[in-house]
Chains A and B, each alone.
Chain A
Amino acid sequence: DIQMTQSPSSLSASVGDRVTITCRASQSIDNYLNWYQQKPGRAPKLLIYTASSLESGVPSRFSGSGSGTDFTLSISSLQHEDFATYYCQQSHSTPFTFGPGTKVDIK
């Protein structure tokens, strides 16, 4: 199975900050990497697919990059509604696996 790791596991930031989250796969997954946002009590929401494609309706302050084993999710200017937990997920091969999550909270 492909293992996914994320760093940091949590971070504190202020509104307006630029935030970067890293995701690493245990083997190359090309660009088959998706990012999700989850708020408490809600289902995850797709933000980015194939590493860098922005899902329809997602604000342009979100961006993704990377290929192979190393990926990043960036939020250019953090807004109140962005405080949440973020997960990466590989879709290169089954079983599809998720990272453990990065919780972004208010400093």
Chain B
Amino acid sequence: QVQLVESGGGLVKPGGSLRLSCAASGFNFRDYYMSWIRQTPGKGLEWVSYISSSGHAIYYADSVKGRFTVSRDNSNNSLYLQMNSLRAEDTAVYYCARDKRLFCRNGFCYGSLFDDWGQGTLVTVSS
């Protein structure tokens, strides 16, 4: 069955960096878009970023653009999120999710749905 396991969370000071990893198994990882989604008690669920199956299409939420970088290694079935210049408001549980697309047209895929999620990893940004 599909399994997504995040790691790399922890306590970091404001301005610091952290790299999250997500190990995928149970499906053809290279065939799927993947997303990072975070959750805080105050702001609820917030989509952070997605990366296409090939890695050629990448999008970020404005709140993390320029500070976070998503990447993937299809040979190792792994997804990553490099987080730099961290702020207190980045404190959240971070989930990786399989980002299933319903149809593709002209090299881009649409109709995103998050059909499998990891267990989440907690990132705390505090001095």
Residues of chain A whose beta carbon lies under 8 Å from any beta carbon of chain B: 32, 34, 36, 42-46, 49-50, 55, 87, 89, 91, 94-101
Contacts and interface: CB of A to CB of B under 8 A. Distances in A.
Contact of B118 (A43, A46, A87): A43
B115 to A, nearest CB: 5
Contacts of B116: 46
Interface of B: 35, 44-47, 50, 59, 61-62, 95, 102, 111-120
Contacts of A46: 113-116
Contacts of A42: 119
Nearest to B62: A95
B115 A96 contact: no
Given A49-B113, A55-B115, A95-B61, 4 more contacts: A46-B114, A49-B102, A87-B44, A98-B47
Contacts of B113: 34, 46, 49-50, 91
Contact of A36 (B50, B114, B118, B120): B114
